[in-house]
Amino acid sequence: MQSGVGRRGFLLGGLAAAGALAAGCGRSAGDVETFTAAFQGSGAGEGIDPGVNTLFVDEARMKAVYDGLFEIDGAMRPIPRLAVSGEPNADGTRWRIALRDARWHDGKKFTAQDVLYTVSRVLGPPQRRPFIAASTLDRVDLSQCRAVGDMTVEIALRTPDFEFPLALSAYGTKIVQDGAADFSRPVGTGPFVFESFEAGRQFGATANENYWDGAPGVRRLRIVSAESDARLAAVQSGQIDYADNLTPSAARTLQNRQGISLEATPNSGIYFFAMKTDRPPFDNPDVRRAVMRMVDRAELVKVALEGQGDVANDVFGKGYQYYAELPQHDYNPDEVGRLLRKAGVRDLSFDLFTAPVAYGFVEAARLFADQAARCGVRVNVVLGSKDSYYTDALNTGHLTMGQSGPLSIPNHFASRLLTGSPQNRTKWSDAEFDALYARAQATPTEEGRAAIYRTMHEILYDRGGFVFFGITNWNSAARESFRNTPAAVPNSHDWARFDKVAAR
């Protein structure tokens, strides 16, 4: 199955026949009858279970249907949503959370039991795919958690965590209804009520007129899966109202185009290589250090990303709370040779597993292979299926690629780098690192946590498995006949939210 919708199929109206592209028609009194947004698709790998699905298009759908207790603002700090407030006890082992007056789409009242069920589901027996937040919430002691009436929940932790609202704002923590098991027709508390979903093609929902944060200005929301060229062509032709994650060349095409507004949100898309540290040759820290010096980041940004971004430095979260400024890792073939000799490695050769799932992936992979060759290292670029790449890349191969939107740095550590993290693409397992994370969570002051997180960054910068090589803008485009279309850092609360969209 193809990832998303190809250009020809999209423009010939495969979805339009189903009514998904009736963009912006029938507006009255400032209301938008139908609003259609297009995101990068991933075929059969897409889903709508907030416990397990992680793609950007998945998150866009889930923002429509569900709410979290907390979500992240543009500075990667938690803001209350279904929670009104959250307060720790003196030692950070219990959090009392006051809940908002809200209702589920089926009319039931949102209560503390829904929160307890969601947490127990995440921490319960794993599904075929692991629950994303299982490691993020693994400090929760379910046996001691309790409802304090309908509108207050007390969450007990096995160890102190003075940043627990960050954990409750991470991927995989959106609140599901008590007892929910079938997500083919999900029921949420969010601004839109589920109508239909076809993986790799389209999602439909209608306005939740009783939404606690105000009824949406959009009566019917459509989110369609489409490849990059299809998103560009469709927003140009008016078949869609909003296009997410456009390439730099697409953004240049739309520059100053009448009837279309273009937004470029900086510091948004983070490109990386991921070395699997549990298998040769990357189980040797000196080989990992060599790869960090084998990457000409400036050339990758200039060529593969068309100059539309900044050089990264193998430390996640530039510009956000707890980011560690460290000396730039530079391209250094002589140092590569020294480190490989120290590792006792000769004639190094390995596969780089990639797929055309995001702009510049294949170009960056091939350019990196050229850079490695200049260091005497052979890199074999292996192309996988774009429909299943992100799932396959968790376990396949030795070196893979990825693109991340911003996350808070503590959530990045918890979801990707602690031993057993479900999104641990580098298979990183380091007892010192795990212990430092636990100590940071138990530290009540932000200044104290910052010092510990810096030490964790220094470990990864020295011998970790990630090579973060570029940070790009996030380009989106919308028809100028609408206002309040989202233009925000991915993964933040305001990204991919369409409930405030209105007609001009």
User: In the chain, where are the structural domains located?
Assistant: 31-66+190-259+480-503, 67-168, 267-473
Q: Which pLDDT belongs to residue 203?
A: 97
Which backbone phi and psi does 471 adopt, to 5 degrees? -125, 120
Residue type, 133: A
Task: Provide the CATH number for the domain formed by 267-473 in this structure.
Answer: 3.10.105.10
Q: What is the pLDDT of residues 332-361, one digit of tens each?
A: 999 999 999 999 999 999 999 999 988 899
CATH topology classification for 31-66+190-259+480-503: D-Maltodextrin-Binding Protein; domain 2 (3.40.190)
CB 21 within 8 A of CB 11: no
CATH topology classification for 67-168: Dipeptide-binding Protein; domain 1 (3.90.76)
Q: What is the pLDDT of residues 229-283, one digit of tens each?
A: 999 999 999 999 999 999 888 999 999 899 999 999 988 889 999 999 999 999 9
| Higher local confidence (pLDDT), 484 or 268 | 484
Task: Name 252's Cβ contacts closer than 8 Å, sequence gap at least 6.
Answer: none
CB 211 within 8 A of CB 190: yes
Task: Name 26's Cβ contacts closer than 8 Å, sequence gap at least 6.
Answer: 33, 34
pLDDT, mean over the chain:
91
DSSP 132-179: GGGTTTTTB-GGG-EESSTTEEEEEBSS--TTHHHHTTSTT-----TT
Q: Is residue 423 over pLDDT 80?
A: yes
CA angle 161, 164, 165 (to 5 degrees): 160
| Higher local confidence (pLDDT), 292 or 2 | 292
| Cut 0.75: pTM above it | yes
| Higher local confidence (pLDDT), 3 or 309 | 309
Mean pLDDT of the region 474-491: 93
Distance CA 218, CA 324 (A): 41
Mean pLDDT of the region 490-498: 93
